[in-house]
Amino acid sequence: MALNREIAYIDLSTAEIKTAPIPIGVRQLYLGGRGLDMYLLYNHLEPGVDPLGPDNVLTVSAGLLVGTPASASARTHIGAKSPLTGFVGSSNMGGFFAPELRFAGFDHLVIKGKADGPIYLWIHDGEIEIRDASDIWGENIFDTQELIKDELGDPEVKVLCIGIAGENLVRFANVMTGMKNAAGRTGMGAVMGSKNLKAIAVRGTMGLEIRFPEESLEYNRQLIEHIGSTKFAQIMQKWGTMFIYGVTNTTGLVRVRNFQLNQQVGGNIECEHIEKYSLGTEGCYGCILHCRHKYQIKDGPYAGTYAEGPEYTSQGAFGMEVDCNNFETILVGNHLVNMYGVDTLEIGSMIAWAMELYEKGILTDEDTGGLKLEWGNDQAVLEMIRCIAERKGLGDILAEGPLRAAEKIGQDSIKYLIHVKGMSNLHSDERSTPSLALGIATGSRGSDHLRSRPAIDLYHLPEELLRKIYGGPKPYDGPLSSDYTSYEGKPRMVQWQEMMYEAIDCTGICKYHTIFLSPNLIRFEELSKLIYLNTGLEFTPEEIWDIADRAYTIERLFNIREGLTREDDWLVDRYFDEPTPIGLPIARDKCIDREKFKQMINEYYELHGWDEDGVPRPETLKKLGLDGEPSHKL
Amino acid sequence: MEKILVVAHEKCTGCRLCEMVCSVKHTGVNNPTRSRIHIIKWPMEGFELPMLCQQCEEAPCIAVCPKDALSRDLTLGRVTLNYDLCIGCKMCVTACPFGGMGIDTVVQQVIKCNLCDGDPICVRFCDPGALQFVPANTVNLMKKRDAGLKFSELMRKSLISDV
Ligand code: SF4
Ligand code: SF4
């Protein structure tokens, strides 16, 4: 059954490995994937541990529906205490690793301690071995995977691994599988590096029983037809997430020159450029959207190199934020971050910040080793990627992430950081979009667009449709507004998306198949059916919301235990003090209103049943069955 | 009319949905090792190739089967396997040059693609159209049209520039 996958506890210090079944009762509370990982972190981590010390706990998991016909359920979730924020670390990725982990008999790995030297885990059909990785240490993301497959003698092995950035404990190093699937955020790669864990290789031949195979196939066939018929799907299939640039840059909703402009004037990095380089598209396991391009770099030192992507995030990192107007730079930058294994979003933000400091004279040629960190200097951007991943010169400081780097650089460098909870923002500018601003300010893992962003707010949807979406499955009759510049009803949208994304991350379905960029895709109702047909577990849409609420609240409890206060759910001053200078009228001369924003946060806490300090009230914990946590059920 | 399952590998996105639905339909379980179709990949080069039984006219599996369990089914244009006659000697697995004959270790039987009795589920789920089930006598026309499309673009361009 899809429910009989096990959990493995692996202590790298003692080489002790234990496995156990996952009781159905725990499934009913957390489903799997991110939700169960969060429960495990809250239960297995001591508060206050050094995220890069042996006491941190790393979880790797496959969502509840991974490997079933449920639409594109391929995601691996990785959790730990974040070395970037000190709060909850959590990131997920697509590809083919998670299904293979399930075919090998496991859903969750809880990895503790630190190995004496470089090792990798080899997991196959119920067995787990710790193997020497001395020969592989130092290899990049691509070669690591190939070397391990060669060593194990099976090209069907799937590998997740860290690159040089993770080995060097770059605090925003990612974990990757394949050419470009990356669990990018919150520095999970650095946690693996700190444990001397280079990679996890899996291969399995254990079948995953589908509860109602025929009905599941039929329902998924309908979903495919439905998803495929949306305009969103057709655009995604052709361009991937790069299509977003056309909308957001034209309007003036992006972060250019760190935070000085909200539009790339004369920007010429639209998705259409990919046509010249593309060799076709690739999909994750079971996905019909195949959102990433396969491409070949044409010129320069990387001419002829094969790579996959890039995403909208790389257009931001190596285009908008640093104001480079060259599509090839994005292609090369994307290739480099994937090769080194480092978060494209964080590295772009760090470089853009350093450029603003250089412009302001806070960083000088002496600090940069002569590198001209000027806007639009493509070569300097690409060089900085190397310096950060290899921790060379200024790169060594930037590799520490926003807050630590600002402390090292000093002066008033901190004033120019665009971050929440110590994690940099996506290259989006939320000054005209209060709902999006609230989402990044309150996200449990720091500034982030994948925790709660109501992206469809940008579509000015009619109020009846908003009511249809945001009015359930838990009743809500408060205000909702089609105007994305309004503060009205936005806390509900953020809370709703938070619950949706949490539920989705518990199942391992890709967010692009849900209400994220299109209002017509999967929500709680469809999820309830997918879970039932594939696993036999029965939940009403409301019950799925409760599960998501429980998991999200345990993330909140984790953060509070690590010292989070209301002040951490806040934006940097620039959002309130510097109005947007350009863009369409709707996005021009806008900044966030402090008072109204405070009010929004109050409302948002209230919706969650948290007190004015953002702490879940005792009755909220009781209602969610969290009053006895940590309960050590697993 | 006889139809054949053709592969347009350049349209394949490597999603392996075909493997999954094949296994789920035939076994109720998702286990790619029990699927009749497989996607062979070179992930670091971005190349993938769907591989499945070619339903050969002069099938080596039929030729080596000592029990005549394998035969050609002319109506559906396939090679069929009669489990009542099969003794599980796996000669066919050895003989097939494409890996079209597999072994299902759960039920201890050799397995092969049976074209889902005329409505292949992999084709139904392959959204990009890398797998197609088309009348055998027009398959070349379909390929000609695909190839002709690229060619015609060039021709049209040259016509325009001539004017
Ligand atoms: S939409 Fe993209 S990221 Fe999501 S499953 Fe499909 S290919 Fe993977
Ligand atoms: S379903 Fe189609 S696109 Fe996906 S792997 Fe199979 S042949 Fe390729």
User: What is the arithmetic mean of pLDDT over B60-80?
Assistant: 95
Q: Is A167 contained in some domain?
A: yes
- The answer as to whether A208 is a domain residue is no
Which one is predicted more confidently, A252 or B137? A252
Residue B80's contacts (CB-CB under 8 Å, 6 or more residues apart) are B70, B71, B72, B73, B114
| CA distances (Å), origin A26, targets A68, A627, A634 | 20, 16, 8
Find the Cα–Cα–Cα–Cα dihedral A533, A538, A542, A548, rounded to 10°. Answer: -80
Q: Apex CA B55: angle with CA B54 and CA B56, to 5°?
A: 90
Q: Residue B12 falls within a domain, yes or no?
A: no
Contacts of A155 in chain B (CB under 8 A): 41
Give the model's pLDDT for residue A285.
Answer: 98
Instruction: Say which residues have a Cβ less than 8 Å from residue A229's Cβ, sequence separation at least 6.
Output: none
Helices and strands per DSSP (H, E), number in chain B: 5, 9
Give dist(CA A197, CA A191) in Å, integer.
9
Q: How would DSSP label each residue in B64-95?
A: H-TT--EEEETTTTEEEE-TTT-----HHHHH
B154 lies in some domain: no
DSSP letters, A548-613, are HHHHHHHHHHHHHHTT--GGGS---THHHHS---SSSGGGSS----HHHHHHHHHHHHHHHTB-TT
Structural domain contains residue B85: yes
In the predicted structure, residue B144 carries a pLDDT above the cut 90: no
The whole-model pTM stands at 0.96
In B, what residues contact A, Cβ < 8 A? 10-11, 13-17, 20-21, 23-25, 27-34, 41, 43-46, 105-106, 121, 124-125, 127-128
| CB contacts < 8 A (A, B) | 90
Terminal Cα distance for chain A, rounded: 20
- In the predicted model, what is the mean pLDDT of residues A540-553? 98
Q: Which atom of ligand 2 is nearest to the CA of B128?
A: 3
B74: domain range?
A: 53-112
- As a whole number of Å, the CA-based R_g of chain B is 18
Of A391, A417, A443, which one is at a domain's C-terminal end? A417
C-alpha A520/C-alpha A538 separation (Å) is 24
Residue A561 confidence (pLDDT): 98
| Domain boundary residue, one of A155, A179, A203 | A203
- If one counts the domains in chain B, the total is 1
Exposed e or buried b per residue across A536-546, where buried means at least 16 C-beta atoms within 10 angstroms of its C-beta: ebebebebbbb
Co-location of A464 and A495 in the same domain: yes
Give me the CATH number covering residue A132: 3.60.9.10
* Per-residue pLDDT, A1: 62
B121 CB near ligand 2 (under 6 Å): no
- The predicted-structure confidence for A301-354, as pLDDT tens digits, reads as follows 999 999 999 999 999 999 999 999 999 999 999 999 999 999 999 999 999 999
Q: How far is the CA of A618 from the centre of ligand 2 (A)?
A: 50
Instruction: Check which CATH number belongs to the domain holding A584 and give it.
Output: 1.10.599.10
Alpha-carbon dihedral sign for residues A419, A423, A426, A427: positive
Structural domain contains residue A482: yes
Q: What is the pLDDT of residues A10-29, one digit of tens each?
A: 999 999 999 999 999 999 99
Same domain? A479 vs A535:
yes
Q: Is B94 inside a domain boundary?
A: yes
Distance of residue A326 Cα from the nearest chain B Cα, in angstroms: 24
In a domain, A266, yes or no: yes
Q: Which position has the higher pLDDT, A103 or B143?
A: A103
Q: B163 pLDDT exceeds 60?
A: no
Is B30–A217 a contact, with Cβ atoms under 8 angstroms apart?
no
Give the pLDDT score at A267.
87
* Residue-level pLDDT at A324: 97
Q: Nearest CA to A9 among A131, A105, A108, A123? A: A108
**DSSP element (H, E) containing B13:** none
pLDDT band at A109 (very low <50, low <70, confident <90, very high): very high
Which chain B residues contact residue A213 at CB under 8 A? 24-25, 28-29
pLDDT score of B11 more than 90: yes
Contact B20 A283 (CB under 8 A): no
Q: How far is CA B66 from CA A264, A404, B62, B63, in A?
A: 72, 74, 9, 8
What's the domain count of chain A?
3
| Spatial CB neighbours of B58, under 8 Å, sequence gap ≥ 6 | none
Residues A400 and A488 in one domain: no
Residues A398 and A488 in one domain: no
Tell whether B9 is covered by a domain.
no
User: ipTM, 2 decimals?
Assistant: 0.95
Residue A121: per-residue pLDDT: 98
Cα separation of A398 and A521, whole Å? 39
Q: What is the pLDDT of residue B159?
A: 75
Model confidence band, residue B143 (pLDDT cutoffs 50, 70, 90): confident
Report if residue A230 sits inside a domain. no
How long, in residues, is chain B?
163
CA distance A179 to chain B (A): 6
Same domain as A478, residue A372: no
Residue A2 has pLDDT above 80, yes or no: no
What is the CB neighbour count within 10 angstroms for residue B149?
9
Q: Are residues A605 and A478 in the same domain?
A: yes
Using DSSP bridges, classify how beta strands A181-183 and A175-177 pair: parallel, antiparallel or unpaired.
Answer: antiparallel
Tens-place pLDDT, residues A463-517: 999 999 999 999 999 999 999 999 999 999 999 999 999 999 999 999 999 999 9
* CATH number where B76 lies: 3.30.70.20
What is the residue-averaged pLDDT of chain A? Answer: 97
Which pair of structure tokens corresponds to residue A99?
């299904």
Distances (CA, A) of A85 to A88, A423, A563: 8, 6, 11
CA distances from A549 to A33, A347, A406, A625 (A): 15, 32, 35, 11
Same domain, A360 and A441: no
Query: From the alpha carbon of A288, which atom of ligand 1 is closest?
Result: 6
pLDDT digits (tens, 9 = 90+) for A259-285: 999 999 988 999 999 999 999 999 999
- Of the candidates A548, A563, A506, the one whose C-alpha atom is nearest the C-alpha of residue A88 is A563
Residue B30's pLDDT band, with cuts at 50, 70 and 90, is: very high
Cβ contacts of A308 on chain B, cutoff 8 Å: 46
Q: Which amino acid is at A464?
A: E
A466 and A574 in a common domain: yes
Helix, strand, coil proportions of chain B in percent (round to 5)? 40, 20, 40
From A208, A224, A280, residue closest to B125, measured CB to CB: A224
Residue in B13, B28, B32 nearest the CB of A282: B13
Tens digits of residue pLDDT in B106-120: 999 999 999 999 999
- The C-alpha atoms of residue A502 and residue A36 are separated, in whole angstroms, by 11
Residue B43 lies in a domain: no
Range of the domain at A546: 434-624
Note whether A179 and A251 are same-domain residues: no
Could you say which of A370, A387, A417 is where a domain stops? A417
Q: Which residue of A has its CA nearest to B121?
A: A217
Segment A396-419, tens digit of pLDDT: 999 999 999 999 999 999 999 999
Residues of chain A in Cβ contact (below 8 Å) with chain B: 67-69, 96, 103, 142, 145-146, 155, 178-179, 205-210, 213-214, 216-217, 221, 224, 228, 279-288, 290, 294, 306, 308
Strand order in the sheet with A106-112: A16-21, A6-11, A106-112, A58-62, A76-81, A88-93
pLDDT band, very low/low/confident/very high, at B139 (cuts 50, 70, 90): confident
**B104 lies in some domain:** yes
- The CB of B69 under 6 Å from ligand 2? The reply is no
- Strand-pair category, A119-124 with A127-132: antiparallel
DSSP, collapsed to helix, strand or coil, labels residue A411 as: coil
Residue B2: predicted pLDDT: 85
Same domain, A450 and A543: yes
Q: Which residues contact A182 (CB under 8 A, 6 or more apart)?
A: A93, A174, A175, A176, A338, A341, A343, A344
Strand ranges of the sheet holding A158-161, from the earlier edge strand across to the other edge: A127-132, A119-124, A197-203, A158-161, A175-177, A181-183
Extract the tokens encoding A200. Answer: 């996890």
| Summary mean pLDDT of chain B | 93
Angstrom distance (rounded) from CA A57 to CA A60: 10
Q: Is residue A1 part of a domain?
A: no
Query: Is residue A445 in some structural domain?
Result: yes
Return the residue matching tokens 């970037």: A84
The residue type found at A13 is S
B chain contacts of residue A68, beta-carbon cutoff 8 Å? 30
Confidence category of residue B142, pLDDT binned at 50, 70, 90: confident
Residues A392 and A474 placed together within one structural domain of the fold = no
Residue A361 sits in a domain whose CATH number is: 1.10.569.10
Q: Per-residue b/e over A194-211, b at no fewer than 16 CB within 10 Å?
A: bbbbbbbbbbbbbbbbbb
Name residues whose C-beta falls within 8 Å of residue A127's C-beta, 6 or more positions apart in sequence: none
Query: Is residue A225 situated within a structural domain?
Result: no
Residue of B nearest to A67 (CA): B30
Both A438 and A581 in one domain: the answer is yes
In a domain, B106, yes or no: yes
Distance CA B46, CA A446 (A): 34
pLDDT band at B162 (very low <50, low <70, confident <90, very high): low
Structural contact between residues A161 and A141, judged by C-beta atoms closer than 8 angstroms: yes
